[in-house]
Amino acid sequence: MKRLNIKYADLFNNEKKLEYLFERNRGSPRKVKEVYRRLLKLSRKKISLLLELLGELEDMLSIDVEKLEKDFNETLKLIGNVAIRKIIEKDTGIRSDRLTEYFKHKRKPSIRTLLKLLKCMKTIKVIDNEIYSNLLRLYRMVNVIRKCKLILGISFTEIEKEVGAKGASVAYRARNSTLSMNSIRENLNVVMAMKKAVESVIHDRLLIDFLELIDFLQKSQIFWDEVKEVSKVGETMTYDIEIEGSHNFIGGEGFFVLHNTTCALVIARELYGDSWRRNILSMNASDARGIDVIRHQVKEFARMKAIGDVPFKIILLDECDSMTPDAQQALRRIMEDYSNITRFILIANYSSKIIDPIQSRCAVFRFKAHTEEAMRKFIERIAEKEKLKITEDGIKAIMDIAEGDLRRVANLMQAASALTKNIDEEIVYEVASLAKPKDIKEMLNLALNGKFKEARQKLFDMIIKQGLAGEDIVKQIHKEIYKLDIPDDAKIKLIEKTGECEFRISEGGDPLIQLEALLAQFLLASKR
Query: Same topology for domains 250-359 and 437-527, yes or no?
Result: no
What does the alpha-carbon distance between residue 221 and residue 241 come to, in Å, rounded to a whole number? 21
Chain mean position to CA 134: 45
> Which is higher by pLDDT, 348 or 251?
348
Contact between residue 211 and residue 201 where contact means Cβ atoms under 8 Å apart: no
pLDDT tens-digit readout, 354-412: 888 888 888 887 777 778 888 888 888 888 888 888 888 888 888 888 877 787 888 88
Tell whether domain 250-359 is in CATH 3.40.50.880.
no
399 within 8 A of 412, measured Cβ to Cβ: no
pLDDT tens column, 44-70: 888 888 888 888 888 878 877 788 778
Instruction: Sketch the domain layout of the chain as residue ranges.
Output: 1-62+128-223, 250-359, 372-431, 437-527
Q: Are the C-beta atoms of residues 317 and 283 closer than 8 Å to each other?
A: yes
Residue pair 49/10 in contact (Cβ under 8 Å)? The answer is no
Looking only at the bridges linking them, the beta strands covering 422-423 and 389-390 are: parallel
DSSP 328-367: HHHHHHHHHHTTTTEEEEE--S-GGGS-HHHHTTS----P
- Architecture of the domain delimited by 372-431: Orthogonal Bundle (1.10)
Lowest mean pLDDT among 20-24, 154-158, 417-421: 20-24
Q: Which of 88, 183, 72, 84 is nearest to 131 (CA)?
A: 72
Residue 353 has pLDDT above 60, yes or no: yes
Yes or no: is domain 437-527 CATH 3.30.2020.30?
A: no
Average of per-residue pLDDT values in the chain: 77
Residue 210 three-state SS: helix
H-type helices in 153-249, by residue range?
Answer: 156-163, 167-176, 181-202, 205-219
Output the CA angle 127-129-131, nearest 5 degrees.
60
Short-list 462, 474, 461, CA closest to 515: 474
Q: At what angle do helices 129-152 and 65-78 cross, to 10 degrees?
A: 120
Helices H / strands E in the chain, number of each: 26, 7
Mean pLDDT of 174-194: 66
- Sign of the four-CA dihedral 454, 458, 459, 461: positive
